Amino acid sequence: MVEQYNPTVMDHFMHPRNMGDMENPDGVGHIGNPQCGDIMEMYIKVKDNVIIDVKFKTFGCGAAIASSSIVTELVKGKTIEEALKITNQQVVDALGGLPPIKRHCSVLGEDALKSAIDDYLKKTTGKGIEGWQPHEEEEHAH
Amino acid sequence: MPTEAKRKVYFDNMANTPPDHRVIETMLLQTKEAFGNPLNIHDFGEKTAEVIESSRKNVAELIGATPAEIIFTSCGSESNNFAIRGIAKAYEKKGKHIISSAIEHFSVLQVLKALEKEGFKVTYLPVDKNGVINSQAVAKAITPETILVTLTHASNEIGTIEPIAEIGKIVKDKGIIFHVDAVQTAGTIPLNVAEFQVDALTLSANLFYGPTGIAALYLKKGTRIVPFLVGGTQEEGKRAGTQNIPGISGMGKAAELAKQEMNARSEKLIPLRDRLLKGLTEKIDDFFITGHPTNRLPGHASGVVKYIEGESMSMLLNMEGIAVSTGSACVSKALKASHVVLALGVSPEDAHGSLVFSMGKDASVEDVDYVLAKLPPIVKRLREMSPLYPKKKGAK
Ligand code: FES
């Protein structure tokens, strides 16, 4: 089981970056479903359209923890527009690859981030990300 | 990734046990000596036949059967497949109803699913919160169409020992065939096919310190079955093909040792199991035991650590040299939580945090205490990451 993960994934799993709660976040993302097991929360702080701080909490496997950790690294310092361009493939690439069966955990990372941005936009502009929907359950399953 | 932990604690003996050194020695010797084809009439073949038959006798004696009632197979899954399909097909003219339970191994459930597609009807009995199959529920489920009852003696995931003798009596009275999956119990706790009134029983060497790749099916004399492999006279024509001679010699030795040492092993393991269960309950808040608290396999401790996930826990335990199993959906290819844990009434969310610690005969108090020292900080660390962990004041 442990053999499946590369050293980068293991590093993020063992030493997750930006893990924990955030006081007064500007956007909160909550994604997942206890039925299939994965729950991810992401909190962002935004100043002048730039994500200046980000934190996460994850209930899930090693790949889910590593994915959320690396998403926070990818997104810090990015503008909202730049952050919206992050895809789960970028998450997988930044981790140096994930076992095929664990790719759905990276989708969760992307969705948690977008859900946080969606929340932030709703709060500030009254409108969320245009046309955005979290990935469907079916895509998470195999 | 190899771990650097100095201490190694293997608590995954329900998945596979390490072969006893005496078993390995026997296999080495018989691999060298017993190579003649046992069907051939020369001294070499005869030597092999003797090895096979003396092993068969040992296996029979372990479960109170006669040697002619033992069929060697390649694994527990094969025995389960063979028994259920072979018996269902042999008796289908009598009826097409089978009774089983919600906590069976996949090698039972998948055969039953296949048989359902072929027109059989299967009743899956529920279990209570401790994982016990109610014998009265078996009685109630029986119909005039029922030909087979197939139940586990104990599930590897929860360790609860099922009331097989009680159920055997009920099934016997109705003249129905009774198959028991005893992979987790044969060689571990006392088991007697006559006392239990079973007609077929699956047992596997790799769960009682024998080698992998060898198992057996007990089939009571007179019970009909459709052969599993055809094309030879081996195993009374029911399972053709040249036998796995080293494996059989190893299983025979393991059965002999299990019979002699079973009580001593249990006397040692039961206090260790209870120490581990007690320690887990005391040291981890929001932990609950799965399976029966006391009527469970000697070395088996299992439970749920709420709010965190099993793969993460087992990876961090592995870093400390500790090997365990989990029923988390995240380790299953289908991304589904263990059906056995769910059958107890545990929520899918909680099932994610299920762990199974299965100790082997060489486990020690130090091993148990090592696990009890290493797990709580891992739980704390993962709970700090979990959005589900309630921020309770003073939570450990
Ligand atoms: S969180 Fe369940 S497989 Fe990744």
User: What is the predicted ipTM?
Assistant: 0.88
User: Does some domain include residue A129?
Assistant: no
Q: Which CATH number fits domain B9-17+262-385: 3.30.300.30, 3.90.1150.10, 3.40.50.720, 3.20.20.70?
A: 3.90.1150.10
Flag whether the pTM goes above 0.95.
Answer: no
Query: B31 CA to middle of ligand 1, Å?
Result: 44
Ligand 1 contacts CB of residue B330 (under 6 A): yes
Q: Which fold has domain B21-258?
A: Aspartate Aminotransferase; domain 2 (3.40.640)
- The answer as to whether A97 is a domain residue is yes
Q: State the average pLDDT over residues B78-89.
A: 98
The residue of chain B with its CA nearest to that of A37 is B349
Comparing A25-34, A49-58, B145-154, B358-367, the range with the smallest average pLDDT is A25-34
Q: Which residues pair with B99 in a beta bridge?
A: B123, B149
Instruction: Assess whether A105 carries a catalytic annotation.
Output: yes
Arithmetic mean of pLDDT over chain B? 94
Q: Give the phi and the psi of residue A37 in degrees, each rounded to 5.
A: 105, -20
Q: For residue B394, what pLDDT is reported?
A: 45
Sheet holding B287-289, edge to edge: B287-289, B300-305, B354-358, B325-326
Question: Which of B307, B308, B311, B338 gets mutated to test ligand 1 (max ligand atoms within 8 A of its CB)?
Answer: B311
Task: Give the domain CATH number at A24.
Answer: 3.90.1010.10
A62:B312 CB<8 A? yes
Does the structure show a pLDDT above 60 at B393? Answer: no
**Ligand 1: centre distance to CA B350 (Å):** 14
pLDDT score, position B2 = 57
If one counts the domains in chain A, the total is 1
- Does residue A142 fall inside a structural domain? no
pLDDT at A140 over 80: no
Indicate which atom in ligand 1 lies nearest the CA of residue A104: 4
- Candidates B306, B330, B388: best to mutate against A (most CBs of A within 10 A) is B330
In this complex, do A37 and B347 lie within 8 Å of one another by their Cβ atoms? no
Query: Does any domain span residue A138?
Result: no
Q: Look at ligand 1, atom 1, and give the residue with the nearest C-alpha.
A: A60
Alpha-carbon torsion B61, B63, B67, B72, what sign?
A: negative
Query: Between chains, do B384 and A16 touch, taking CB under 8 Å as contact?
Result: no
Residue A64 within any structural domain of the chain: yes
Select the residue from B1, B319, B342 to test the A interface by mutation, using most A Cβ atoms within 10 A: B1
Q: Write the pLDDT tens digit of every residue in B308-352.
A: 999 999 999 999 999 999 988 888 777 788 999 999 999 988 999
Between the CA atoms of B42, B43, B49 and B51, what dihedral angle is there, to the nearest 10 degrees? -160
- Render pLDDT for A64-108 as a digit per residue (tens, 0 to 9): 999 999 999 999 999 999 999 999 899 999 999 999 888 888 888
> Over chain A, what HEC string results?
CHHHCCHHHHHHHHCCCCECCCCCCCEEEEEEECCCCEEEEEEEEEECCEEEEEEEEEECCHHHHHHHHHHHHHHCCCEHHHHHCCCHHHHHHHCCCCCHHHHHHHHHHHHHHHHHHHHHHHHHHCCCCCCCCCCCHHHHCC
Separation of A108 CA from ligand 1 center, angstroms? Answer: 9
* pLDDT tens per residue across span B223-262: 999 999 988 889 988 998 889 999 999 999 999 999 999 9
Q: Does A36 participate in catalysis according to the annotation?
A: yes
pLDDT tens digits for range B283-308 = 999 999 999 999 999 999 999 999 99
Phi, then psi, of B305 in degrees rounded to 5 = -100, 110
pLDDT for residue B219 is more than 70: yes
- Does ligand 1 lie within 6 Å of residue A96's CB atom? no
The residues with which A50 forms a beta bridge, in sequence order, are: A47, A79
Residues pairing with B204 in the sheet: B215
The answer to whether residue A110 sits within a structural domain is yes
pLDDT at A141: 40
Look over chain A and give the mean of its residue pLDDT values, rounded to a whole number.
88
Interface of A with B in 50-109 (CB under 8 A): 57-62, 64-65, 101, 104
Structural domain including A75 reads 7-122
What value does the mean pLDDT take over residues B81-95? 97
Helix axes B310-319, A7-14, angle to 10 degrees: 100
Q: What is the CA(B119)–ligand 1 centre distance, in A?
A: 36
Instruction: Give the pLDDT confidence score for residue A34 in this predicted structure.
Output: 52
Given this model, what pLDDT does residue B335 score? 78
Task: Tell me the C-alpha distance between B387 and B105, whole Å.
Answer: 33
User: Does residue B373 register a pLDDT over 70?
Assistant: yes
Kindly tell me if the per-residue pLDDT of A113 is higher than 80: yes
From the list A3, A41, A65, the residue facing B312 with the nearest CB is A65
In a domain, A71, yes or no: yes
Q: Give me the residue spans of the domains in chain B.
A: 9-17+262-385, 21-258
Q: pLDDT at position A137, please?
A: 52
Query: Would residue A133 count as lying in a domain?
Result: no
Option in A34, A62, A142 nearest B311 (CB): A62
Distance CA B59, CA B64 (A): 9
